[in-house]
Structure 1
Amino acid sequence: MKTSERREAIISILKQAEEAIPAKALAAKFNVSRQAIVQDLTVIRAYTPGIASTSRGYVMIKEQENSPKKEFKVCHDASMTQEELFTIVDCGGKIKNVSISHRIYGRISVDLDLRSRQDVLDFMKAFEGSKSKYLGEVTSGYHYHLVEADNDDRLLLIEERLKALGVLAPLSPWEKEESGIE
Protein backbone atom coordinates (compact mmCIF):
# COMPACT_ATOMS: atom_id res chain seq x y z
CA MET A 1 0.00 0.00 0.00
CA LYS A 2 1.28 3.45 -0.92
CA THR A 3 1.72 6.11 1.76
CA SER A 4 -1.01 8.24 0.21
CA GLU A 5 -3.44 5.28 0.24
CA ARG A 6 -2.60 4.54 3.89
CA ARG A 7 -3.24 8.16 4.83
CA GLU A 8 -6.63 8.15 3.11
CA ALA A 9 -7.48 4.90 4.91
CA ILE A 10 -6.47 6.44 8.26
CA ILE A 11 -8.78 9.40 7.64
CA SER A 12 -11.62 7.02 6.79
CA ILE A 13 -11.02 4.97 9.96
CA LEU A 14 -10.97 8.08 12.16
CA LYS A 15 -14.19 9.40 10.61
CA GLN A 16 -15.98 6.13 11.42
CA ALA A 17 -14.47 5.55 14.89
CA GLU A 18 -16.55 6.12 18.00
CA GLU A 19 -13.50 6.54 20.24
CA ALA A 20 -9.85 7.52 20.03
CA ILE A 21 -7.53 5.14 18.19
CA PRO A 22 -3.96 4.74 19.45
CA ALA A 23 -1.13 5.09 16.90
CA LYS A 24 0.02 1.61 17.95
CA ALA A 25 -3.30 0.10 16.81
CA LEU A 26 -3.10 1.88 13.45
CA ALA A 27 0.50 0.72 13.05
CA ALA A 28 -0.54 -2.89 13.61
CA LYS A 29 -3.41 -2.57 11.14
CA PHE A 30 -1.15 -1.24 8.37
CA ASN A 31 1.92 -3.29 9.33
CA VAL A 32 4.13 -0.22 9.74
CA SER A 33 5.91 1.34 12.71
CA ARG A 34 4.16 3.56 15.22
CA GLN A 35 6.51 6.34 14.12
CA ALA A 36 5.29 5.99 10.52
CA ILE A 37 1.70 6.49 11.74
CA VAL A 38 2.71 9.51 13.83
CA GLN A 39 4.38 11.02 10.75
CA ASP A 40 1.32 10.22 8.64
CA LEU A 41 -0.93 11.93 11.15
CA THR A 42 1.29 14.99 11.28
CA VAL A 43 0.82 15.38 7.54
CA ILE A 44 -2.88 14.48 7.66
CA ARG A 45 -3.61 16.99 10.45
CA ALA A 46 -1.98 19.75 8.40
CA TYR A 47 -4.67 19.49 5.74
CA THR A 48 -7.58 17.79 7.55
CA PRO A 49 -9.29 19.89 10.23
CA GLY A 50 -10.82 18.26 13.29
CA ILE A 51 -8.31 15.51 14.09
CA ALA A 52 -7.15 15.70 17.69
CA SER A 53 -4.31 13.93 19.39
CA THR A 54 -5.42 12.89 22.87
CA SER A 55 -3.84 10.83 25.61
CA ARG A 56 -5.91 7.86 24.34
CA GLY A 57 -4.97 8.25 20.68
CA TYR A 58 -6.25 10.09 17.65
CA VAL A 59 -9.87 11.11 17.23
CA MET A 60 -11.92 12.92 14.61
CA ILE A 61 -13.81 15.60 16.47
CA LYS A 62 -17.41 15.50 15.35
CA GLU A 63 -18.75 19.00 15.70
CA GLN A 64 -22.29 19.43 16.85
CA GLU A 65 -23.68 22.17 14.67
CA ASN A 66 -25.37 24.41 17.22
CA SER A 67 -23.91 23.29 20.53
CA PRO A 68 -23.17 26.27 22.74
CA LYS A 69 -19.52 26.88 23.57
CA LYS A 70 -17.81 29.15 26.06
CA GLU A 71 -14.19 29.82 26.90
CA PHE A 72 -13.40 29.93 30.61
CA LYS A 73 -10.31 31.64 31.98
CA VAL A 74 -9.01 29.85 35.04
CA CYS A 75 -6.02 30.04 37.33
CA HIS A 76 -4.76 27.42 39.75
CA ASP A 77 -1.70 25.37 40.56
CA ALA A 78 -1.12 21.88 39.18
CA SER A 79 -2.62 20.20 42.25
CA MET A 80 -6.10 21.49 41.26
CA THR A 81 -6.02 20.25 37.66
CA GLN A 82 -7.99 17.04 38.17
CA GLU A 83 -10.63 18.70 40.34
CA GLU A 84 -11.05 21.52 37.80
CA LEU A 85 -11.48 19.08 34.90
CA PHE A 86 -13.85 16.83 36.92
CA THR A 87 -15.97 19.90 37.73
CA ILE A 88 -16.42 20.70 34.06
CA VAL A 89 -17.26 17.17 32.85
CA ASP A 90 -19.47 16.45 35.89
CA CYS A 91 -21.61 19.45 34.91
CA GLY A 92 -22.05 18.12 31.37
CA GLY A 93 -19.26 20.01 29.65
CA LYS A 94 -16.94 18.67 26.99
CA ILE A 95 -13.48 20.21 27.29
CA LYS A 96 -12.46 20.86 23.71
CA ASN A 97 -9.06 22.39 24.41
CA VAL A 98 -6.66 24.10 26.77
CA SER A 99 -4.84 27.24 25.76
CA ILE A 100 -2.61 29.91 27.17
CA SER A 101 -1.86 33.44 26.15
CA HIS A 102 1.90 33.89 26.38
CA ARG A 103 3.57 37.29 26.24
CA ILE A 104 6.21 36.14 23.77
CA TYR A 105 4.75 33.10 21.98
CA GLY A 106 1.19 34.38 21.71
CA ARG A 107 -1.80 32.06 21.94
CA ILE A 108 -0.96 28.36 22.25
CA SER A 109 -3.83 25.88 22.10
CA VAL A 110 -3.96 22.09 22.41
CA ASP A 111 -6.98 19.89 21.62
CA LEU A 112 -8.14 17.76 24.56
CA ASP A 113 -11.62 16.31 23.85
CA LEU A 114 -12.32 15.36 27.49
CA ARG A 115 -15.93 14.27 27.98
CA SER A 116 -15.97 12.14 31.13
CA ARG A 117 -14.19 11.42 34.40
CA GLN A 118 -12.46 8.49 32.69
CA ASP A 119 -11.15 10.80 29.97
CA VAL A 120 -9.82 13.10 32.71
CA LEU A 121 -8.19 10.18 34.54
CA ASP A 122 -6.55 9.03 31.28
CA PHE A 123 -5.29 12.56 30.68
CA MET A 124 -3.89 12.80 34.22
CA LYS A 125 -2.26 9.37 33.94
CA ALA A 126 -0.35 10.50 30.85
CA PHE A 127 1.61 12.88 33.11
CA GLU A 128 2.52 10.25 35.71
CA GLY A 129 6.25 9.52 35.78
CA SER A 130 6.89 12.29 33.27
CA LYS A 131 8.83 15.51 33.55
CA SER A 132 6.17 17.17 31.39
CA LYS A 133 4.13 19.93 32.96
CA TYR A 134 0.60 21.16 32.38
CA LEU A 135 0.33 23.94 29.81
CA GLY A 136 -1.03 26.39 32.40
CA GLU A 137 2.17 26.10 34.42
CA VAL A 138 3.95 28.08 31.69
CA THR A 139 1.79 31.10 32.57
CA SER A 140 1.77 30.83 36.39
CA GLY A 141 -1.45 28.80 36.40
CA TYR A 142 -3.47 31.02 34.05
CA HIS A 143 -5.08 29.17 31.16
CA TYR A 144 -8.31 28.84 29.20
CA HIS A 145 -10.65 25.98 28.37
CA LEU A 146 -13.05 26.01 25.45
CA VAL A 147 -16.05 24.05 26.70
CA GLU A 148 -19.00 22.74 24.73
CA ALA A 149 -22.31 21.74 26.33
CA ASP A 150 -25.81 20.68 25.32
CA ASN A 151 -27.27 24.04 26.35
CA ASP A 152 -26.44 27.45 27.82
CA ASP A 153 -27.71 26.44 31.26
CA ARG A 154 -24.96 23.82 31.48
CA LEU A 155 -22.35 26.45 30.63
CA LEU A 156 -23.75 28.73 33.36
CA LEU A 157 -23.61 25.85 35.84
CA ILE A 158 -19.99 25.16 34.89
CA GLU A 159 -19.14 28.82 35.38
CA GLU A 160 -20.82 28.84 38.83
CA ARG A 161 -19.00 25.66 39.92
CA LEU A 162 -15.60 26.90 38.71
CA LYS A 163 -16.20 30.13 40.61
CA ALA A 164 -17.20 28.20 43.76
CA LEU A 165 -14.06 26.06 43.36
CA GLY A 166 -12.04 29.28 43.35
CA VAL A 167 -10.36 28.73 39.99
CA LEU A 168 -12.36 31.03 37.70
CA ALA A 169 -10.14 34.00 36.83
CA PRO A 170 -11.38 37.45 35.88
CA LEU A 171 -10.74 38.67 32.36
CA SER A 172 -8.17 41.42 32.06
CA PRO A 173 -9.23 44.69 30.38
CA TRP A 174 -7.61 43.74 27.06
CA GLU A 175 -9.37 40.33 27.10
CA LYS A 176 -12.73 42.00 27.71
CA GLU A 177 -12.06 44.39 24.84
CA GLU A 178 -11.02 41.53 22.55
CA SER A 179 -14.14 39.47 23.34
CA GLY A 180 -16.60 42.38 23.27
CA ILE A 181 -17.50 41.99 26.97
CA GLU A 182 -18.05 45.23 28.86
Structure 2
Amino acid sequence: MRAGERRQAILDYLRHSSRPVSAGFLAERFSVSRQAVVGDVALLRASGADISATPRGYVILKPSQDLVRRVACRHDAAGMEAELCAVVDQGCSVLDVIVEHPVYGQLTGPLQLASRYDVGQFLSRCAGARPLSDLTGGIHLHTLSCPDEDAFCRVREALGAMGILWEGEE
Protein backbone atom coordinates (compact mmCIF):
# COMPACT_ATOMS: atom_id res chain seq x y z
CA MET A 1 0.00 0.00 0.00
CA ARG A 2 1.38 3.41 -0.93
CA ALA A 3 1.62 6.21 1.63
CA GLY A 4 -1.23 8.22 0.07
CA GLU A 5 -3.49 5.16 0.03
CA ARG A 6 -2.57 4.40 3.64
CA ARG A 7 -3.42 7.94 4.73
CA GLN A 8 -6.81 7.67 3.02
CA ALA A 9 -7.39 4.29 4.69
CA ILE A 10 -6.48 5.76 8.10
CA LEU A 11 -8.88 8.64 7.51
CA ASP A 12 -11.67 6.24 6.47
CA TYR A 13 -11.00 4.03 9.50
CA LEU A 14 -11.20 7.00 11.88
CA ARG A 15 -14.40 8.29 10.23
CA HIS A 16 -16.13 4.97 10.84
CA SER A 17 -14.80 4.28 14.33
CA SER A 18 -17.05 4.98 17.30
CA ARG A 19 -14.10 5.04 19.71
CA PRO A 20 -10.62 6.59 19.77
CA VAL A 21 -8.03 4.59 17.84
CA SER A 22 -4.43 4.43 19.04
CA ALA A 23 -1.46 5.04 16.77
CA GLY A 24 -0.15 1.62 17.81
CA PHE A 25 -3.33 -0.09 16.63
CA LEU A 26 -3.24 1.75 13.30
CA ALA A 27 0.44 0.89 12.87
CA GLU A 28 -0.30 -2.80 13.37
CA ARG A 29 -3.33 -2.68 11.10
CA PHE A 30 -1.40 -1.06 8.24
CA SER A 31 1.93 -2.84 8.88
CA VAL A 32 3.94 0.32 9.47
CA SER A 33 5.67 1.89 12.44
CA ARG A 34 3.82 3.96 15.01
CA GLN A 35 5.93 6.93 13.92
CA ALA A 36 4.71 6.48 10.31
CA VAL A 37 1.12 6.71 11.57
CA VAL A 38 1.93 9.84 13.60
CA GLY A 39 3.41 11.39 10.45
CA ASP A 40 0.41 10.33 8.36
CA VAL A 41 -1.98 11.91 10.85
CA ALA A 42 0.08 15.12 10.83
CA LEU A 43 -0.18 15.25 7.04
CA LEU A 44 -3.91 14.52 7.15
CA ARG A 45 -4.40 17.37 9.64
CA ALA A 46 -2.30 19.70 7.47
CA SER A 47 -4.59 18.89 4.54
CA GLY A 48 -7.66 19.85 6.59
CA ALA A 49 -8.80 16.62 8.25
CA ASP A 50 -10.33 17.37 11.66
CA ILE A 51 -8.51 14.66 13.61
CA SER A 52 -8.12 15.12 17.35
CA ALA A 53 -5.57 13.31 19.49
CA THR A 54 -7.03 12.26 22.82
CA PRO A 55 -5.33 10.37 25.65
CA ARG A 56 -6.95 7.19 24.25
CA GLY A 57 -6.14 7.73 20.58
CA TYR A 58 -7.20 9.58 17.46
CA VAL A 59 -10.81 10.57 16.78
CA ILE A 60 -12.78 12.47 14.24
CA LEU A 61 -15.45 14.16 16.29
CA LYS A 62 -18.94 13.73 14.95
CA PRO A 63 -21.53 16.49 15.34
CA SER A 64 -23.64 15.94 18.42
CA GLN A 65 -27.19 16.89 19.24
CA ASP A 66 -26.18 17.27 22.89
CA LEU A 67 -25.87 20.63 24.63
CA VAL A 68 -22.33 21.92 24.84
CA ARG A 69 -21.58 23.87 28.02
CA ARG A 70 -18.51 24.99 29.96
CA VAL A 71 -17.74 24.94 33.65
CA ALA A 72 -14.91 26.66 35.48
CA CYS A 73 -13.27 24.54 38.15
CA ARG A 74 -10.52 24.80 40.71
CA HIS A 75 -8.86 21.96 42.57
CA ASP A 76 -5.47 20.38 43.08
CA ALA A 77 -4.30 17.23 41.27
CA ALA A 78 -5.84 15.06 43.99
CA GLY A 79 -9.31 16.40 43.10
CA MET A 80 -9.15 15.43 39.43
CA GLU A 81 -10.75 11.99 39.75
CA ALA A 82 -13.65 13.22 41.89
CA GLU A 83 -14.27 16.11 39.48
CA LEU A 84 -14.30 13.96 36.34
CA CYS A 85 -16.44 11.24 37.94
CA ALA A 86 -18.94 13.85 39.12
CA VAL A 87 -19.41 14.93 35.50
CA VAL A 88 -19.75 11.49 33.91
CA ASP A 89 -21.99 10.28 36.77
CA GLN A 90 -24.53 12.92 35.73
CA GLY A 91 -24.62 11.63 32.14
CA CYS A 92 -22.35 14.25 30.61
CA SER A 93 -19.04 13.84 28.77
CA VAL A 94 -15.87 15.84 29.40
CA LEU A 95 -14.74 16.94 25.95
CA ASP A 96 -11.63 18.87 26.95
CA VAL A 97 -9.71 20.87 29.53
CA ILE A 98 -8.72 24.49 28.90
CA VAL A 99 -6.24 26.69 30.76
CA GLU A 100 -5.06 30.24 30.14
CA HIS A 101 -1.28 30.32 29.89
CA PRO A 102 0.50 33.68 30.41
CA VAL A 103 2.75 33.16 27.37
CA TYR A 104 0.85 30.86 25.00
CA GLY A 105 -2.70 32.00 25.70
CA GLN A 106 -5.41 29.38 25.70
CA LEU A 107 -4.16 25.77 25.87
CA THR A 108 -6.69 23.02 25.23
CA GLY A 109 -6.28 19.32 25.89
CA PRO A 110 -8.87 17.03 24.32
CA LEU A 111 -10.19 14.41 26.76
CA GLN A 112 -13.37 12.72 25.42
CA LEU A 113 -14.32 11.09 28.74
CA ALA A 114 -17.84 9.66 28.91
CA SER A 115 -17.71 7.02 31.67
CA ARG A 116 -15.92 6.03 34.85
CA TYR A 117 -13.97 3.53 32.75
CA ASP A 118 -12.76 6.39 30.52
CA VAL A 119 -11.84 8.42 33.61
CA GLY A 120 -9.88 5.48 35.04
CA GLN A 121 -8.00 4.97 31.77
CA PHE A 122 -7.19 8.69 31.61
CA LEU A 123 -5.95 8.78 35.21
CA SER A 124 -3.72 5.75 34.67
CA ARG A 125 -2.11 7.59 31.75
CA CYS A 126 -1.64 10.66 33.97
CA ALA A 127 0.52 8.77 36.48
CA GLY A 128 3.70 10.78 36.97
CA ALA A 129 2.50 13.71 34.83
CA ARG A 130 1.27 17.08 35.98
CA PRO A 131 -2.18 18.24 34.82
CA LEU A 132 -2.51 21.42 32.73
CA SER A 133 -4.31 23.07 35.63
CA ASP A 134 -1.01 23.09 37.56
CA LEU A 135 -0.06 26.02 35.31
CA THR A 136 -2.93 28.10 36.65
CA GLY A 137 -3.14 27.31 40.35
CA GLY A 138 -5.75 24.65 39.66
CA ILE A 139 -8.14 26.94 37.74
CA HIS A 140 -9.37 25.48 34.45
CA LEU A 141 -12.39 25.09 32.21
CA HIS A 142 -14.02 21.94 30.91
CA THR A 143 -16.18 21.78 27.82
CA LEU A 144 -19.00 19.35 28.49
CA SER A 145 -21.45 17.55 26.24
CA CYS A 146 -24.73 17.09 28.11
CA PRO A 147 -27.91 15.32 27.01
CA ASP A 148 -30.03 18.17 28.38
CA GLU A 149 -29.99 21.26 30.60
CA ASP A 150 -31.02 19.23 33.66
CA ALA A 151 -27.89 17.08 33.37
CA PHE A 152 -25.74 20.22 33.16
CA CYS A 153 -27.46 21.64 36.26
CA ARG A 154 -26.77 18.38 38.12
CA VAL A 155 -23.08 18.64 37.19
CA ARG A 156 -22.88 22.22 38.47
CA GLU A 157 -24.66 21.20 41.67
CA ALA A 158 -22.35 18.21 42.25
CA LEU A 159 -19.19 20.24 41.57
CA GLY A 160 -20.48 23.05 43.81
CA ALA A 161 -21.16 20.63 46.65
CA MET A 162 -17.59 19.33 46.31
CA GLY A 163 -16.14 22.85 46.42
CA ILE A 164 -14.71 22.42 42.91
CA LEU A 165 -16.96 24.75 40.91
CA TRP A 166 -15.00 28.00 40.45
CA GLU A 167 -17.04 31.18 40.53
CA GLY A 168 -14.31 33.76 41.09
CA GLU A 169 -12.22 35.04 43.94
CA GLU A 170 -13.17 33.94 47.45
Q: SS of the counterpart of 2:165?
A: coil
- Structure 2 residue 121 is the aligned partner of structure 1 residue 114: no
The CA distance in 2 between the partners of 1:171 and 1:15, in whole Å, is 40
Partner of 1:154: 151
The CA distance in 1 between the partners of 2:31 and 2:5, in whole Å, is 14
The CA distance in 1 between the partners of 2:40 and 2:144, in whole Å, is 29
Measured after TM superposition, the shift of residue 171 of structure 1 is: 4.7
Q: SS of the counterpart of 1:48?
A: coil
Q: What amino acid is the match of 2:11?
A: I
1:2-151 equivalence runs, <5 A: 2-46=2-46, 47-49=48-50, 51-64=51-64, 66-128=65-127, 130=128, 132-151=129-148
- Structure 2 residue 165 is the aligned partner of structure 1 residue 164: no
> If the length of structure 1 is used for normalisation, what is the TM-score?
0.87
Q: What amino acid is the match of 2:7?
A: R
The CA distance in 2 between the partners of 1:36 and 1:23, in whole Å, is 9
The CA distance in 2 between the partners of 1:18 and 1:103, in whole Å, is 36
| 8 Å Cα contact 1:96-1:146 kept in structure 2 | yes
The CA distance in 1 between the partners of 2:54 and 2:24, in whole Å, is 13
The CA distance in 2 between the partners of 1:63 and 1:133, in whole Å, is 31
**Counterparts in 2 of 1:69 and 1:171: CA distance versus 1, 3 Å:** farther
The CA distance in 1 between the partners of 2:136 and 2:14, in whole Å, is 33
Count of aligned pairs between the two proteins: 168
Q: Which runs of 5+ in 2 are unaligned?
A: none
The CA distance in 2 between the partners of 1:67 and 1:74, in whole Å, is 21
Q: Which runs of 5+ in 1 are unaligned?
A: 173-182
Q: Percent identity?
A: 34
Q: SS of the counterpart of 2:126?
A: coil
RMSD: 1.3
> If the length of structure 2 is used for normalisation, what is the TM-score?
0.93
The CA distance in 1 between the partners of 2:69 and 2:19, in whole Å, is 24
The CA distance in 2 between the partners of 1:16 and 1:29, in whole Å, is 15
Q: SS of the counterpart of 1:126?
A: helix
Q: Which runs of 4+ in 1 moved over 6 A?
A: none
| 8 Å Cα contact 1:52-1:112 kept in structure 2 | no
